[in-house]
Amino acid sequence: MRVLIIEDEKRLANTLADMIEDMGYNATVRYDGIDGRDEAMTGIYDAIVLDVMLPGMNGFEVLRTIRANQIETPVLMLTARSDLADRIEGLDSGADYYLTKPFENLEFRACLRAVIRRQGSIIPDTKTYDDLSLSLTDGRLSCGSRSLLLSAKEKEIMSLLILNAQTAISKETILTKVWGYDSEAGDNNVEAYISFLRKKLTLLGSRVQINAQRRVGYRLEVGNS
């Protein structure tokens, strides 16, 4: 899961990034409104933390722009201003939650979890598919009584495959979601990690297979037991 932070106070932005990564998510930081808007427009993020007072373009403008371009990513807005009019403007612009500075770390974490659960789409700590169970907390993949730990990227790829079970995911989507929009990683990186995961599924004795569809992508399927 990827979270975009658009915040010009670098110390706060980096602290938020650390907290988000401690929650098991990947964090990307942009320090001004224009760069943040451009990054949000990629549509690769699962949540956006957006400050109101930003250089280049304020948070309200960023939010209105991405919503006008059909980017429906959940947005948690941050502001030092507690005026009712500001909160109303943020919500009317398309924010999902509004948090006033200063705030406690636990409060921020709870608010971020709330926007990720937007529209009732709760992100569980464990994902399952057939005989497989993946813990998002520690990256442990289990099948029956057997289990093993996945690397960070293996966990992200397996999470994507389980979340989109029965639907093929392209290499491009995996690269963007797992390595990031501006990464130099290529198809061979995806192929290597898919190979790692296939070997681990074999070690676990799972019925689940990762099958490739030519020119489409990878998908999970249940083979013969």
pLDDT at residue 122 in the model: 42
Looking at residue 224, its pLDDT comes to: 67
Distance CA 73, CA 220 (A): 26
Picking from 153, 158, 154, 175, the residue whose alpha carbon sits closest to that of residue 210 is 158
Number of domains composing the chain: 2
Distance CA 192, CA 125 (A): 26
Q: What is the pLDDT of residues 91-141, one digit of tens each?
A: 666 788 888 887 888 888 888 988 887 644 444 567 889 999 998 778 899
Residue 133's domain spans which residues?
Answer: 126-222
The answer on 110 and 143 residing in a single domain is: no
Q: Which residues of the chain fall short of a pLDDT of 70? A: 81-93, 118-125, 166, 181-182, 224-225
Structure tokens at 197: 């995961």
Does one domain contain both 134 and 82?
Answer: no
Residue 188 has a pLDDT of 93
Q: What is d(CA 94, CA 164) in angstroms, rounded to the nearest whole number? A: 26
Question: Given this model, what pLDDT does residue 125 score?
Answer: 65
Whether the ω angle into residue 102 lies within 30 degrees of 0, i.e. cis, is yes
Using DSSP, state whether 51 is helix, strand or coil.
Answer: strand
The CATH number covering residue 209 comes to 1.10.10.10
Q: Which of 120, 152, 167 finishes a domain?
A: 120
Q: What is the pLDDT of residue 90?
A: 60
pTM: 0.57
Backbone angles phi, psi at 117, to 5 degrees: -85, 10
Are residues 215 and 195 part of one domain? yes
pLDDT of residue 49: 96
> Do 130 and 93 lie in a common domain?
no
CATH number at residue 106: 3.40.50.2300
